[in-house]
Chains A and B, each alone.
Chain A
Amino acid sequence: MATVETRGVKKYYGDVVAVNGVDLVTKDGEFLVLLGPSGCGKTTLLRMIAGFETPSAGELVIAGEVVNDLPPRARKIAMVFQSYALYPHMTVFKNIAFPLKAQRVAKAAIPQKVEWAASLFGIGHLLHRKPRELSGGERQRVALARALVREPAVFLLDEPLSNLDAQLRASARDELQQFQRRIGTTTIYVTHDQVEAMGLGDRIAVMKAGTVRQIGTPQEIYHEPADTFVARFVGSPPMNLVQHQNYVLGFRPEQFLPKGSQNGIGSVITFPFRVTRVEYLGADRLLYGTLGGAFSDQKVIARLPSTVTVDIKSETAYDFSVEDKELKFFDTSTELRISTRPL
């Protein structure tokens, strides 16, 4: 059991700033997701925690100990790589046993531990195979078993699901979360996939350009985005942001419904909405179009669940509305969210 803390961590490569002052504290046993677009510094941050990169400034603390100067092997961490990084010349058994041997675990205890780790992931029957004889999903389990076998204080996962096909990814996500809950090891998980982040994380740290823009539970990130970047990065389709007077108005596509379809009893705000294109996706319809009136042709998307059966045609104007409490406001210049409605 351990926590990971980064204190003002920075990383420069020459003039390029990869990580620009990150302060994070994980809770004990937490599943923390680092989410951001490629190049935002999330992998660099993870590699610094692992010990592959040295921070240019700041402190890294694992389990209460400053680890800046410790090599990876002394940090009580285990890592799963995007490529899995299995040792290709070793059998699955030897792959899983390698960290144990490296840590000089008694020889007699090794087979038992390997079998325990393998059984956790249902790969007991693959122990004598080489990595190249395994499917993508099996390789991923071997990588997890190898990381788990020596019971690390912290798990670091670098996009471990991105090499799996979509169907496998969904079930692997589920397994990964169950497994993390069961062993309760603090986990830091890097991904650029917001669905993965929302589904897995106890908390999500959204990163952009080397800084953390917001850290919070999936609900907070989704419903209370700290700025326009988080608002647009999380959610698919992203939050509609329209310029209005001296602020930016935001609302989620699924809150933007034909007038009268709202379930709530709160007051609503109505917009004239000209639909230009209708996309039928089965469970919902996506309506692309522009706002009229005071919002002068700004593009927005509406997402109608299949329970809303109003007939919508393209190239037609409708009245759409958003519940008052679902409206978010952002400062035009700082892009930060304003908690109260500006006047």
Chain B
Amino acid sequence: MDSREQTAPAATDLARAQRRTVSIIDSERWLGPLLIGPAVLYIVLLVGLPFFMALYYSVSNTTTGGGTLGFVGLRNFTGVVGTPRFQTALKNTLIFALLSQTVILVLSNALALALQKDFHGKRLIRFLILLPWVAPISIGTIAWLWIFDSTYSVLNWTLRMAGLIQGQGFMWLGVPHLAMGSVIAVHVWRQLPLATVILLGGLSSIPQDIHDAAAVDGAGFWRHYFQITLPLILPISLVALLFGLIFTFTDMIIIYNLTRGGPYDSTQVLASLAFYTGIAGGDLAEGAAIALFLFPLLLAVAWGFLRIAHRTEVT
């Protein structure tokens, strides 16, 4: 028996202890699937399944009453596209999305630039600006409902007190153009925080040296902003815009709570029309067709934006 064998018992104990700690989470073959599994399951069940069901519904003749699930080809699409209601909703969707995103893009840029500076009360302002995003949207819009109320509108009261109007004041949600303006305003209020936070992230990723260099090189505010800052946050702005567009095209909570699409469908967008047709009206197939109508367009927009963002990305 040599000295090496004498140490053997201790060595095997150690080896056994080490072996014990080697478990399933040390194996990359199992650990990866284990970690990503819940996310995959979630997406398949709550996003994938409804999506493919909607795809099938849109080419079927199903209703909320159930029963039939017959294949009818593109009849739902061709049927609905020609209706004035659909065309109005399509037009409203585009106006709603483009106008609100333009305003959001401009305001979030200004806000992010302002919030990047150091000033007293910055934390409070940041918190207040984030509030619309973290507050439940339904509660927020109900507050707006009162702000726009035809009798108790605080907006009208303010305008009256300022001497800008006399008498009754505006029917904010009762006149087509005003109603569209109102839902856009609330939508901007709602989405501005997210866009601002995304842009703030983009702004803070620009090294201070770049700003200092531009200052020494003689750039004033506008040149600095349009030739240095804006190009550098362009990729992330496009991502913010993409998020904003997709949320806008697919969301209907604000319109549902404020105008129900009225007056006379003047604020009806595709998402709300799909809801009223498919769920409230019971024609699930046609509702699905309306909801999916913009899907190819959104897909193309998303692909295009991500490509541009990738190409303009700078290191």
Evaluate whether A98 and B212 lie within 8 angstroms (CB atoms) in the complex, with A132-B315, A146-B217 already known: no
Nearest chain B CB to A292 CB, angstrom units? 47
Nearest chain A CB to B185 CB, angstrom units? 34
Residues of A near B312 (CB, < 8 A) are: 89
Tell me if B207 counts as interface (CB < 8 A to partner A): yes
Pair B216/A78 contact, Cβ less than 8 Å = yes
Pair A89/B232 contact, Cβ less than 8 Å = yes
Pair A89/B218 contact, Cβ less than 8 Å = no
Count A-B contacts at CB 8 Å: 69
Tell me if B309 counts as interface (CB < 8 A to partner A): no
Pair A89/B231 contact, Cβ less than 8 Å = yes
Pair B209/A102 contact, Cβ less than 8 Å = no
Pick the interface stretch among A69-77, A166-174, A320-328.
Answer: A69-77
Nearest chain B CB to A108 CB, angstrom units? 19
Residues of B near A88 (CB, < 8 A) are: 210, 232, 314-315
Residues of A near B314 (CB, < 8 A) are: 88-89, 130, 132
Tell me if A247 counts as interface (CB < 8 A to partner B): no
Across the interface, B227 reaches (CB within 8 A) one of A52, A98, A130, namely: A98
Q: Give Cα A79 to B208, complex, Å.
A: 14
Residues of B near A71 (CB, < 8 A) are: 215
Evaluate whether A98 and B232 lie within 8 angstroms (CB atoms) in the complex, with A52-B212, A81-B212, A85-B210 already known: no
Tell me if A231 counts as interface (CB < 8 A to partner B): no
Tell me if A34 counts as interface (CB < 8 A to partner B): no
Q: Give Cα A132 to B315, complex, Å.
A: 7
Pair B231/A73 contact, Cβ less than 8 Å = no
Nearest chain B CB to A106 CB, angstrom units? 15
Q: Identify the closest chain A residue to B210 (Cβ).
A: A85
Evaluate whether A73 and B217 lie within 8 angstroms (CB atoms) in the complex, with A88-B315, A89-B312, A132-B314 already known: yes
Residues of A near B227 (CB, < 8 A) are: 98
Residues of B near A150 (CB, < 8 A) are: 217-218
Tell me if A99 counts as interface (CB < 8 A to partner B): yes
Tell me if B136 counts as interface (CB < 8 A to partner A): no
Nearest chain B CB to A259 CB, angstrom units? 54
Q: Identify the closest chain A residue to B215 (Cβ).
A: A72
Q: Which of B228-276 contact A (CB under 8 A)?
A: 228, 231-232
Q: Give Cα A89 to B314, complex, Å.
A: 6
Q: Which of B183-226 contact A (CB under 8 A)?
A: 207, 209-210, 212-220, 223
Nearest chain A CB to B14 CB, angstrom units? 39
- Please encode chain A, from 96 to 113, with 1 for each CB lying within 8 Å of some chain B CB and 0 for all others: 001101110000000000
Pair B220/A73 contact, Cβ less than 8 Å = yes
Q: Give Cα A22 to B213, complex, Å.
A: 25
Q: Give Cα A72 to B220, complex, Å.
A: 10
Pair B209/A51 contact, Cβ less than 8 Å = no
Pair B219/A81 contact, Cβ less than 8 Å = no
Residues of A near B315 (CB, < 8 A) are: 88, 132
Q: Identify the closest chain A residue to B232 (Cβ).
A: A89
Q: Give Cα A103 to B223, complex, Å.
A: 11
Across the interface, A85 reaches (CB within 8 A) one of B212, B220, B223, B231, namely: B212
Q: Identify the closest chain A residue to B231 (Cβ).
A: A89
Pair A102/B219 contact, Cβ less than 8 Å = yes
Nearest chain B CB to A163 CB, angstrom units? 12
Q: Give Cα A141 to B246, complex, Å.
A: 45
Residues of B near A92 (CB, < 8 A) are: none
Q: Give Cα A161 to B231, complex, Å.
A: 28
Residues of A near B216 (CB, < 8 A) are: 50-51, 72-73, 77-79
Tell me if A83 counts as interface (CB < 8 A to partner B): yes
Evaluate whether A103 and B218 lie within 8 angstroms (CB atoms) in the complex, with A87-B228, A89-B231, A132-B314 already known: yes
Pair B218/A73 contact, Cβ less than 8 Å = yes
Q: Give Cα A101 to B214, complex, Å.
A: 11
- Please encode chain A, from 221 to 235, with 1 for each CB lying within 8 Å of some chain B CB and 0 for all others: 000000000000000
Across the interface, A102 reaches (CB within 8 A) one of B207, B212, B223, B232, namely: B223
Pair A98/B210 contact, Cβ less than 8 Å = no
Evaluate whether A73 and B209 lie within 8 angstroms (CB atoms) in the complex, with A87-B228, A89-B312, A132-B314 already known: no
Q: Give Cα A51 to B218, complex, Å.
A: 12
Pair B228/A51 contact, Cβ less than 8 Å = no
Residues of B near A85 (CB, < 8 A) are: 207, 209-210, 212-213
Pair A99/B215 contact, Cβ less than 8 Å = no
Residues of B near A86 (CB, < 8 A) are: 213
Across the interface, B213 reaches (CB within 8 A) one of A51, A79, A89, A101, namely: A79
Residues of B near A83 (CB, < 8 A) are: 207, 209
Nearest chain B CB to A212 CB, angstrom units? 24
Residues of B near A82 (CB, < 8 A) are: 209
Residues of B near A72 (CB, < 8 A) are: 212, 215-216
Nearest chain A CB to B184 CB, angstrom units? 32
Pair A102/B213 contact, Cβ less than 8 Å = no
Pair B217/A81 contact, Cβ less than 8 Å = no
Pair A73/B215 contact, Cβ less than 8 Å = yes
Listed A/B pairs (25) with beta-carbon separation below 8 Å: A72-B216, A73-B215, A73-B217, A73-B219, A77-B216, A79-B213, A79-B216, A81-B209, A81-B212, A83-B207, A83-B209, A85-B207, A88-B232, A89-B232, A89-B314, A98-B217, A98-B227, A101-B223, A102-B217, A102-B218, A102-B223, A103-B218, A130-B314, A150-B217, A150-B218
**Residues in chain A within 8 A of chain B (CB atoms):** 47, 50-52, 71-73, 77-79, 81-89, 98-99, 101-103, 130, 132, 146, 150
